Structure 1
Amino acid sequence: MTNEKIVIEPVSGKKGRAQFVDLGRRFAAKVPNSVPQLRSEQLELVDPDRNPFFGHAEAQLFIARRGGEAVGRISAQIDHLALAIPVEQGMGPGTGMFGYFDAVDEEVGKALLAAAEGWLRERGMTHVLGPISMSIWEEPGLLVKGHDHSPTMMMGHHPPHYRAWIEAASYEKAKSLLTYDLDITQEFPPLVQRIVQSGERNPRITVRPVDLANYQSEMEIILTILNDAWSTNWGFVPFTPEEVAYAGKKMRPIIHAPLNRIAEVEGRPVAFMMTIPDMNAVLKDIGGKLFPFGWIRLLRWLKKPTGADMRVPLMGVLKEFQNSRLASQLAFMMIESIRQEATRRYGSKRGEIGWILEDNRGMVAIAETIDSRINREYVIYRRDL
């Protein structure tokens, strides 16, 4: 601890956002097993003119300085769609959030949390959830298990001591988010094989790859199912049409038809499973830098990500089917078809499923039935203001 005063500065504009992102990159570079991300992508996420999240949200970025040196950062944000979510789903009226939490020591961390809380309190918020950086669909939660290996794409990575600092600031666990590791070179247990075979004999069911020739309409189908399937989940905030278009455009380079499936019942799309090759492996190799030659390596990898680990970030079944035997049947059919394609076409050996809410019994049961194991845990904390 030092006697020098900690000053918390709100930042905005292009220059302020760049300072905020670059400070986070410096922190991340010091954390074992972290993966440097593309700076351009990180800048876009905090830019109100480019990220459609800001069409229904407001945010303030803060940088902490001590003796003129930048020593931490945090965001405070209010998602107005989250304010309309039922309270029993974890959000609702009065819900503010913090994210992008980095600090050199606990004293700085405490000052940053206080600044974010103050900004939220001034705007009428009564409680805060975090870390959520910056949307629930981006990087939610603080890593509390799994520090010994690198994260997959679109998952956060934080030093272990942040947990103690946040909990010491009177934050309590609201929910855990789990990821599951899976050896996809191994066939699934006999029970799963029988379920899959039964589904394949059902003439009502079709499991097909996404049609990249009609990519945007396929993304709209997937995200429409997602909004319905997840609508009663804890922490759910719906995708807006603008976010659907944005997500589709951003994800297009990593969407490979054989790895992404839509399940239909009598010709009607009712379920989907999205699988993406883990771009973090190549980002680690190029140090998160496209120039001078990183872009060549990245483009080659995007065309055919041979040997890549695979991540299933999203899957869903329409609510009307969720309590039926058909739901698990569709899930296992999609998982098995993607497993076969990933190993055969891309030589993949490992998959990761998640995140999954700790109390999502259906998804936890599916993960356990295919012999996957928890490899990372993230916690979203809550505090009354």
Structure 2
Amino acid sequence: MIIVEEVQHEAQRKEFLEFPARLYQHDKNYIKPLDKDIEEIFNPEKNKFFKTGECKRFLFKNKQNQTVGKIAIFVNKYYKQNQPTGGIGFFDCINDKETANFIFDYCKNWLQERGMEAMDGPINFGERDKFWGLLIDGFIEPLYGMNYNFPYYKELFENYGFNIYFEQLCFSRPIFAEVSRVFTVMHAKHSKNSAISAKPLKKNNLEKFAKDFTEIYNKAWSTHGEGKQLTEAKVLKMFKTMKPIINEHISWFVYENEKPVAMWMNIPDLNQWFKYLNGKFGWIEKLKFLWVKKFKKNEKMVGLVFGVVPEWQRKGIEGYMIWEGTQHLRKHTDFKTTELQWIGDFNPKMIKIAENLDTTVTRKLATYRYLFDQNKEFERHPEL
């Protein structure tokens, strides 16, 4: 017998946060997400998706009142799919197929009552940049905001009947690995052009770099599927939020006669510091964070955005930018590895760009889909 509890009061919220920590207590690669990051997702005052959707959290307990699983279930009318599709996320479960099947059945029924015909998971009740996908290969320490799970979760999902809707590929490379000759050749070529210059992002001039970022991003991504136009105000707000963790040596912009034409945005992997905080971020932890940040070397940086305006694409300007930035950060930082945020397998253009950066796939996640009508033909995410 399994008892279902909706997360409503403080003790249940605490259990939703602490159950994974107990489950993974012997897994050296597990890093507990910050409690505040999880709680903000389920706070209608913090998460704009509550304006257009519904989200509930549940705990699943055995007859001894021990938690054996948890999950969040949600619907969002702006999650446009071929059929009305709900989402499930923040799934954790003991290694037991019957328990997992009970949880998935509960999700299916909850979503069917709200008119859904399929469910995707594990995904976030929010943007795709955090807590999206099930880890299926590369069981190493997760990046900040990235899901981590036991290998047996894949079997639990697929045993129930979930199919992979798309794979999420993470590309990585050692900072001191040999750089492609193409990059160095292109660097030598563009270095001779006095109109071309490369500059690192500076904290004391965020307004300028926010403006340059917006211009490059909107031009570079306007022709990509699912590309979103950004406003300068939104980018500046994002930059100001990131200011405490910006490393001025690892984000680069390229200019032609001071006009922005390319960018390569990176930040330190915050999990390399947050892993010492056990998910907490009160004033004591904030002081500890500042101490850790000052005295503990962070050896991994994360690639957030890479973009070249259309008129400079296929001209090797990225080689100039990457070699310019790499030479600099090798001298001025402790980073040994860079890893790109995931790229969907439905986006061959971005995968090609990642491969051209001399990277290799170091981990894979998967977004799964379950069709409630099992006679309906399953289709993977369309290619962009």
Measured against the shorter chain, the TM-score band is: 0.7 to 0.9
Corresponding residue for residue 382 of structure 2: none
Corresponding residue for residue 6 of structure 1: 2
Corresponding residue for residue 348 of structure 1: 335
Corresponding residue for residue 308 of structure 1: 299
1:154 counterpart SS class: coil
1:75 aligns with 2:72: yes
**Counterpart code for 1:99:** G
Pick closer, same or farther for the CA change 1:338–1:24 going to 2, 3 Å. Answer: farther
CA distance in 1, matches of 2:303, 2:74: 27
CA distance in 1, matches of 2:23, 2:362: 23
Aligned equivalent of 1:332, options 309, 319, 334: 319
| 8 Å contact kept, 2:214–2:232 | no
**Counterpart code for 1:118:** N
| 1:203-247 superposed Cα distances (whole Å, 9 cap, x missing partner) | 554433224234367457546755665567677778799976775
CA RMSD of aligned residues (A): 3.3
1:66 aligns with 2:62: yes
| 8 Å contact kept, 1:52–1:246 | no
1:152 counterpart SS class: coil
| 1:142-185 superposed Cα distances (whole Å, 9 cap, x missing partner) | 111111x2122222211000001101111111111111221111
Corresponding residue for residue 116 of structure 1: 107
Report the TM-score when normalising by structure 1.
0.81
Q: CA deviation at 1:192?
A: 1.6
Where does 1:229-308 land on structure 2 (aligned, <5 Å)?
Answer: 229=220, 247-248=238-239, 250-265=241-256, 267-289=258-280, 294-302=285-293, 306-308=297-299
CA distance in 1, matches of 2:109, 2:194: 58
Pick closer, same or farther for the CA change 1:364–1:195 going to 2, 3 Å. Answer: farther
1:325 counterpart SS class: coil
1:106 aligns with 2:97: yes
**Counterpart code for 2:181:** P
CA distance in 1, matches of 2:156, 2:233: 37
Where does 1:22-61 land on structure 2 (aligned, <5 Å)?
Answer: 22-61=18-57
Corresponding residue for residue 191 of structure 2: 200
| 8 Å contact kept, 2:171–2:363 | yes
Corresponding residue for residue 88 of structure 1: none
| 1:30-56 superposed Cα distances (whole Å, 9 cap, x missing partner) | 444111232233322332212344455
Identity of paired residues, percent? 26
Larger Cα Rg: Structure 1 or Structure 2?
A: 2
Q: CA deviation at 1:22?
A: 2.5
CA distance in 1, matches of 2:362, 2:18: 29
1:132 aligns with 2:123: yes
| 8 Å contact kept, 1:17–1:46 | no
**Counterpart code for 1:350:** T
**Counterpart code for 1:171:** F
Corresponding residue for residue 167 of structure 1: 158
CA distance in 1, matches of 2:60, 2:15: 11
Pick closer, same or farther for the CA change 1:189–1:132 going to 2, 3 Å. Answer: same
Report the TM-score when normalising by structure 2.
0.82
State the aligned residue count. 369
- Unpaired runs of 5+ residues, structure 1, are 84-90
Pick closer, same or farther for the CA change 1:365–1:246 going to 2, 3 Å. Answer: same
Pick closer, same or farther for the CA change 1:61–1:293 going to 2, 3 Å. Answer: closer
**Counterpart code for 2:37:** E
- Unpaired runs of 5+ residues, structure 2, are 373-384
Pick closer, same or farther for the CA change 1:250–1:162 going to 2, 3 Å. Answer: farther
| 1:6-35 superposed Cα distances (whole Å, 9 cap, x missing partner) | 123332466544432233333343444111
**Counterpart code for 1:358:** D
More helix by share: 1
1:344 counterpart SS class: helix
1:29 counterpart SS class: coil
| 8 Å contact kept, 1:310–1:351 | yes
| 8 Å contact kept, 1:98–1:129 | yes
Pick closer, same or farther for the CA change 1:289–1:15 going to 2, 3 Å. Answer: closer
Pick closer, same or farther for the CA change 1:229–1:129 going to 2, 3 Å. Answer: farther
Where does 1:202-241 land on structure 2 (aligned, <5 Å)?
Answer: 202-203=193-194, 205-215=196-206, 218-219=209-210, 222=213, 226=217, 229=220
Q: CA deviation at 1:108?
A: 1.9
